[in-house]
Amino acid sequence: MITVLLITAAVAAAIALVLGLALGVFKEIFHVEEDPLIGMIREALPGANCGGCGFPGCDGYATAVADGADITKCTAGGKATADKLAEIMGVGAVAVTPMVSVRCCLGGNEIAVKRGHYTGLATCRGAKIAGGTKLCSWGCIGFGDCVNVCKFGALSMGEDGLPIVNWGLCTGCKVCVAECPQGILRVIPKDKKVVLALCSNRNPVRAAIRKTCRLGCIKCGICVKQCPEQCIVIDSGIPVVDYDKCTACGTCEQKCPTKIMRVL
């Protein structure tokens, strides 16, 4: 019995040795030298691998930049990283607009009417398949899928069941935007005042909106009528602002009966 075990162990060791040597040979034969430029670019990136640049991680973005991709796509690194990449690539300084995420829904637990007691998969995507957790079909479902995918700790769930964005930590990478099945998250410029409708309810029936959420946009059109710059239109039931014309004067915020128009 002992002899069999020793022979088995010896055979296994011999196989492992042969495989190790073979892997070493294959590595040398098929080894591809990395472009030093890619390595320099990779070192300049923050290493968050958030995907906010639109490429598969920092390695993918480094390769893309070496091939001529836009050097301002790293939202995690912002202008500091863009400046480093500009130096490496031998191009001039570039302008980078820092962005942050905003939640376009005010329908918390005490504001939006719940559909009933939900017992299914505790994710926003899972609950959406089952019809959601609230009577408003467009509002925040509240399971925090966005929080779970944020790589910067910029999102947390509030006591009202809505995600809270920490603008000091948010990089505007848009990962949460892509994750939200309701489409209530979007990014805006961090250093510029903008007006935004904090509601995503597209129901055209005013009475139905008031029954489902006390702070839903009731499509009254007052913001459109009162805007001195005439830069607001109702698109699919939601006030949309033309930022090229908007001066962030706050008139729409003051006149809005449900206070969903906000100067941020």
Indicate whether 26 pLDDT > 90.
Answer: no
- Could you give the CA distance from residue 166 to residue 171 in angstroms, rounded to a whole number? 10
pTM assigned to the model: 0.82
User: Which structural domain, as residue segments, surrounds residue 59?
Assistant: 36-89
Number of structural domains found in the chain: 3
> Tell me, what's the pLDDT at 153?
96
Mean pLDDT value across residues 50-69:
93
Residues 6+ apart with CB under 8 A from 239: 197, 217, 223, 224, 232, 233, 252, 261
Same-domain check for residues 104 and 182: yes
Domain ends where: 25, 54, 89? 89
Q: At what angle do helices 78-89 and 36-44 cross, to 10 degrees?
A: 160
Q: For residue range 204-242, list pLDDT tens digits in order.
A: 888 889 899 999 999 999 999 999 999 999 999 999 999
Confidence of residue 25 (pLDDT cuts 50, 70, 90): low
pLDDT confidence of 28, banded at 50, 70, 90? low
Are residues 256 and 177 located together in one domain of the fold? Answer: no
Residue 176 lies in a domain: yes
- Which of 162, 189, 216 is the endpoint of a domain? 189
Instruction: Fill in the DSSP letter of residue 222.
Output: H
- Confidence tier at 149 by pLDDT (50, 70, 90): very high
Q: Do residues 183 and 221 both lie within one domain?
A: no
Please give the Cα distance from 109 to 114 (Å, whole number). 8
H helix runs in the chain, sequence order: 2-30, 36-44, 57-66, 78-89, 124-129, 145-149, 175-179, 206-212, 222-226, 251-255
Q: Tokens 């002899």 sit at which residue?
A: 3
Q: Let me know if residue 4 belongs to a domain.
A: no
Nearest to 236 by CA among 204, 207, 260, 206: 204
For residue range 179-207, list pLDDT tens digits in order.
Answer: 999 999 999 999 889 999 999 999 988 88
Own/partner contacts of 40-46, CB < 8 Å, gap of 24 or more, are 40/88, 41/65, 41/66, 41/85, 41/88, 41/89, 44/77, 44/81, 44/84, 44/85, 44/88, 45/74, 45/77, 45/81, 46/74, 46/76, 46/77, 46/81
Q: Is residue 5 part of a domain?
A: no
> Has residue 130 been placed in a domain?
yes
Does one domain contain both 102 and 82? no
> Are residues 58 and 42 both part of a single domain?
yes
Percent of the chain scoring above 70 in pLDDT: 92
Task: Please give the pLDDT value at position 94.
Answer: 86
The mean pLDDT value of the chain amounts to 91
Q: Kindly state whether residue 80 falls inside one of the protein's structural domains.
A: yes
Closest CA to 247 of 263, 234, 224, 258: 263
Q: Rounded mean pLDDT of 250-264? A: 96
